[in-house]
């Protein structure tokens, strides 16, 4: 079965103290040949000063105590990459408050039967700022009492691939869970369209296919397969259900080029219930700040289509370092485009491009991006706050979870977009950039509290860049920056919101295991008709790695 390769993006980031492995560690030296293990637990103490430049001029100081681990474990039939961190903030400013955060990203792949049965899993904990319309900006403003939420996501599932004579058999299943914890306030929207922030989402995705390669049983390749995708959103008991069966044919044109296409039947349904109403007919809001679902209300169809689907395209693989797939077809009652391009001109560089199209939810997008991570990577963290932006860097390909945030709106949506990235590892210096565009058209049931959100379009442009270099055997610098530009969406003001973050860190090894760091950074959010939020910060700290 050929399903759209949706929701794949590549984000790039630097490793920086605090909150990341420093350039002297094994994790920063790129992909290692053969089995290897690098596990680096650490403890850390930092002093941070943050100055609010706009709209006020407050200065905040606090101490940060943290502990975590950065690990890469690669065996003959398994691979695990992880960056996990717990951080405690002790506020030293008048009227301030203490707090703690858990952040991290983990990706694991274990082959139970070599080349046949594999189990994959992943998890993410990240923080995001958001505005009154639910737009999400990765990370947290250092020292600023902005509205932010904690995002948790995890998935697990097996894959089976085997050969029965000339017959290829494969099957995949994935269960995912996503939770947006805090804020417990309703984002009613600055425009005329109400906004309900996502809460919990569970996802089930299963695929199966059997077929023959070209020039085995027949001169052409032939296969048949099916797919089932279901996403259940706690808000208003929303449900996305997508099922299809299809046959496909692959026609070789040359040793490196093939034409491919398929036709099948698909049934897609998006539905929800309404919110509970009080005596005056007003929707009831729960203690968590979200609309209370009326489980006794009938399920209402928000979107439904069934019938013929098809696609056709080309697959080009001139070498093991270059791969191109491009398809056009009919799905969701409209024309659809999707594809991918991967190019590694040498062992030190990689280029990745993806075009996607699919119906999903906030939780569904996050778990898809998490599952798209490579098994070997290095994670990015804000050099000042230690927050993980959801980006990883890997010459084997990668993903950027930050581009998946877009909006914390609970509604299902159709997402179309493109992402591109470039990464290079020159030994002492690693660098890269990534950028993308995502368009979400929201789907809401008529007669429900969110009915006016049906058809609203939210657009997001995102970019990331990093540079990490060793100055000598004991010291180095790291720079990384991200920016996200939002379209009008639920705002209705006709303007654009912009979120940005940049940090520069210098580290130096003092003695074996002990390193010091100094870092500066700037974070900001610019919103239409609202004062800009800008915060500058500086850090000095020590980390001991065991």
For residue 5, name the pLDDT band (cuts at 50, 70, 90).
very low
> Left, alpha or beta for 116 (phi > 0: left; psi -120 to 50: alpha)?
alpha
Q: Which two tokens stand for residue 238?
A: 């929303």
Cα angle 443, 449, 450 (rounded to 5 degrees) comes to 25
Please say whether the dihedral angle defined by the alpha carbons of residues 33, 22, 352 and 374, taken in this order, is positive or negative. Answer: positive
Q: What is the pLDDT of residues 142-197, one digit of tens each?
A: 544 455 678 899 999 999 999 999 999 999 999 999 998 865 555 555 555 667 88
Backbone φ/ψ region at 143: left (φ over 0), alpha (ψ -120 to 50), beta: left
Rounded Cα distance, 138 and 382, in Å:
10
Burial class (CB in 10 A: 0-12, 13-18, 19+), 46: buried
In order of 60, 212, 245, the CA distances from 1 in angstroms are 55, 12, 8
Residue 27 has pLDDT above 60, yes or no: no
Euclidean distance between CA atoms 80 and 120, whole angstroms: 10
Residues 6 or more apart whose Cβ sits within 8 Å of residue 409: 134, 195, 196, 197, 198, 362, 442, 453, 458, 490
The most confident of the ranges 80-89, 243-252, 347-356, 475-484 is 243-252
CA distance 343 to 514: 39
Distances (CA, A) of 362 to 138, 381, 382, 418, 422: 14, 22, 23, 17, 26
Query: 175: which 2 tokens?
Result: 């269960």
HSE-CB for 103 with a 13 A CA cutoff: 27
SS3 371: helix
Average pLDDT, the chain: 84
pLDDT of residue 115: 85
Preceding amide of 355 cis, omega within 30:
no
Q: What is the DSSP secondary structure assignment for residue 276, as one 8-state letter?
A: P
The phi, psi pair for 538, rounded to 5°, reads: -140, 150
Mean pLDDT of 9-22: 28
d(CA 93, CA 60): 6
CA dist., res. 231 & res. 240, Å (int): 5
Peptide bond into 410 cis (omega under 30): no
Euclidean distance between CA atoms 76 and 142, whole angstroms = 42
* Confidence class for position 30, pLDDT limits 50, 70, 90: very low
Q: What is the pLDDT of residues 374-414, one digit of tens each?
A: 778 877 777 887 777 656 666 776 566 666 777 788 999 99
* CA distances (Å), origin 5, targets 155, 388, 407, 479: 18, 25, 21, 31
Say if residues 119 and 126 touch (Cβ distance below 8 Å): no
The three-state secondary structure class of 427 is coil
Q: Mean pLDDT lowest for which of 233-247, 309-323, 385-399? A: 385-399
**pLDDT value at residue 420:** 85
pLDDT for the residue 446: 92
Place of tokens 């950028």: 435
463 falls in which pLDDT band (50, 70, 90)? confident
* CB atoms inside a 10 Å sphere around CB 199: 22
pLDDT tens-digit map of 484-529: 888 876 665 556 788 888 889 999 999 999 999 999 999 888 877 7
**What's the fold here for domain 26-200+335-439+456-545?**
Porin (2.40.160)
Q: Phi/psi at 324 (nearest 5 deg)?
A: -135, 130
DSSP string, 279-347: TTSPBPB-TTSSBPB-TTSPPEEEEEEEEEEEEEEEEEEEETTEEEEEEEEEETTEEEEEEEEEE-SST
Helix residue ranges, H only, 372-428: 402-405
Cross-strand partners of 336 = 329
The DSSP code for 483 is: E
List the end-to-end C-alpha distance of the chain, in Å, as a whole number: 47
Cis peptide before 183 (omega within 30 of 0): yes
- CA torsion sign for 74, 178, 172, 396 is negative
Provide the 10 A C-beta neighbour count for residue 37: 12
- 276 with 448: CB under 8 angstroms? no
Would you tell me how many other CB atoms lie within 10 Å of the CB of residue 514? Answer: 11
- What percentage of the chain reaches a pLDDT higher than 90? 52
Asked if residue 14 has pLDDT above 50, the reply is no
| Residues ≥6 apart with Cβ < 8 Å to 113 | none
């Amino acid at each position: 079965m050929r399903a759209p390769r949706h929701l794949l993006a590549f984000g790039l980031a630097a490793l920086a103290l605090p909150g990341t492995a420093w350039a002297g560690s094994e994790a920063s030296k790129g992909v290692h040949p053969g089995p290897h293990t690098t596990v680096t637990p650490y403890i850390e103490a930092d002093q941070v000063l943050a100055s609010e430049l706009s709209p006020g001029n407050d200065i905040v100081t606090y101490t940060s105590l943290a502990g975590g681990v950065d690990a890469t474990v690669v065996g003959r039939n398994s691979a695990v990459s992880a960056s996990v961190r717990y951080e405690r903030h002790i506020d030293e400013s008048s009227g301030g408050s203490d707090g703690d955060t858990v952040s991290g990203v983990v990706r694991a792949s274990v082959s139970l039967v070599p080349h046949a049965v594999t189990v994959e899993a992943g998890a993410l904990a990240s923080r995001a700022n958001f505005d009154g319309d639910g737009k999400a900006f990765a990370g947290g403003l250092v020292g600023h009492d902005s509205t932010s939420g904690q995002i948790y996501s995890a998935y697990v599932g097996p894959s089976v691939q085997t050969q029965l004579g000339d017959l290829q058999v494969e099957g995949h299943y994935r269960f995912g869970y996503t939770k947006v914890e805090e804020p417990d306030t309703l984002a009613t929207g600055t425009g005329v369209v109400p906004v309900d922030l996502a809460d919990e989402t569970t996802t089930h995705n299963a695929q199966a296919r059997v077929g023959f390669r070209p020039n085995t049983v027949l001169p052409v390749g032939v296969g048949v397969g099916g797919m089932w995708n279901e996403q259940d959103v706690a808000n208003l008991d929303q449900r996305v259900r997508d099922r299809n069966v299809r046959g496909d044919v692959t026609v070789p044109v040359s040793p490196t080029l093939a034409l491919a296409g398929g036709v099948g039947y698909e049934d897609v349904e998006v539905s929800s219930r309404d919110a509970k109403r009080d005596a005056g007919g007003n929707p009831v809001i729960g203690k968590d700040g979200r609309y209370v679902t009326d489980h006794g209300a009938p399920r209402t169809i928000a979107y439904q289509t069934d019938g013929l689907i098809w696609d056709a395209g080309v697959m080009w693989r001139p070498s093991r370092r270059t791969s191109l797939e491009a398809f056009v077809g009919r799905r969701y009652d409209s024309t659809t485009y999707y594809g991918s391009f991967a190019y590694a001109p040498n062992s030190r560089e990689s280029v990745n491009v993806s075009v996607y199209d699919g119906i999903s939810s906030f939780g569904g997008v996050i778990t898809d991006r998490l599952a798209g991570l490579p098994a070997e990577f290095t994670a990015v963290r804000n050099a000042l706050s230690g927050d993980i932006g959801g980006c990883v860097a890997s010459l084997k390909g990668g993903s950027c979870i930050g581009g998946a945030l877009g909006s914390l709106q609970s509604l299902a949506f159709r997402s179309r977009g493109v992402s591109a990235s470039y990464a290079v590892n020159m030994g002492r210096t690693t660098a890269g950039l990534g950028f993308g565009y995502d368009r979400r058209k929201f789907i809401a049931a008529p007669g429900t509290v969110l009915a006016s959100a049906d058809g609203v379009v939210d657009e997001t442009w995102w970019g990331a860049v990093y540079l990490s270099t060793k100055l000598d055997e004991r010291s180095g610098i790291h720079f990384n920056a991200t920016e996200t530009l939002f379209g009008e969406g639920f705002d209705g003001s006709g303007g654009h919101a912009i979120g940005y973050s940049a940090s520069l860190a210098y580290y130096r090894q003092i003695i074996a295991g002990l390193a010091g760091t100094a870092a500066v950074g700037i974070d900001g959010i610019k919103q239409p008709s609202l004062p800009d939020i800008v915060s500058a910060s500086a850090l000095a700290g020590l980390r001991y790695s065991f």
